[in-house]
């Protein structure tokens, strides 16, 4: 079945450094790739997303890149701050996404040390 692999499972960086989280997906029909941030005790919150017809998207300090040929996509956070500490999830649409189902990676716990 469809699968999304996410790496690393934990990531620790110094404040100001960059952080990169990588995901690979198995369904070649996937065309929508959102990223979520989950703070302790809260629900996941959408932070950025990308469609398959776009190779890169930026929003201030965060960016997402997509390589459809290799079936992988990555989240890049620059100039990390302590408030970036959270669990991050990648997701991919199942098929073309007409029904709306997403499959999630297992998450990356990011710690930003002051």
Partner 1 sequence: NAGVTQTPKFQVLKTGQSMTLQCAQDMNHEYMSWYRQDPGMGLRLIHYSVGAGITDQGEVPNGYNVSRSTTEDFPLRLLSAAPSQTSVYFCASSRPGTVNYGYTFGSGTRLTVV
Residues 6+ apart with CB under 8 A from 72: 22, 23, 24, 25, 66
Residues 6+ apart with CB under 8 A from 99: none
Q: How many amino acids of this chain bind partner 1 (CB under 8 A)?
A: 23
10 is an interface residue for partner 1 by CB under 8 A: no
Single residue of 11, 52, 72, 104 touching partner 1 by CB under 8 A: 104
Binding part of the chain for partner 1, among 11-19, 28-36, 62-70, 71-79 by CB under 8 A, reads 28-36
Single residue of 25, 73, 88, 89 touching partner 1 by CB under 8 A: 89
* Structural tokens at position 78: 């620059």
105 is an interface residue for partner 1 by CB under 8 A: yes
24 is an interface residue for partner 1 by CB under 8 A: no
Q: Rounded to whole angstroms, how far apart are CA atoms 53 and 73?
A: 13
Residue 65 to residues 39, 72, 113, Cα–Cα distance (Å): 23, 9, 25
Single residue of 42, 69, 70, 114 touching partner 1 by CB under 8 A: 42
Q: Write out the residues near partner 1 by the rule CB under 8 A.
A: 6, 32, 34, 36, 42-46, 49, 51, 89, 97-107
């Amino acid at each position: 079945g469809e699968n999304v692999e996410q790496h690393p499972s934990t990531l620790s960086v110094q404040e100001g450094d960059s952080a990169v989280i990588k995901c690979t997906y198995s369904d070649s029909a996937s065309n929508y790739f959102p990223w979520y941030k989950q703070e302790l005790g809260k629900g996941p919150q959408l932070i950025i997303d990308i469609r398959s017809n776009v190779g890169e998207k930026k929003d201030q300090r965060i960016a997402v890149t997509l390589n459809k040929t290799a079936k992988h996509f990555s989240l890049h956070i620059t100039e990390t701050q302590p408030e970036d500490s959270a669990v991050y999830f990648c997701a991919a649409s199942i098929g073309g996404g007409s029904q709306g189902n997403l499959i999630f990676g297992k998450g990356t716990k990011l710690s930003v040390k002051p």
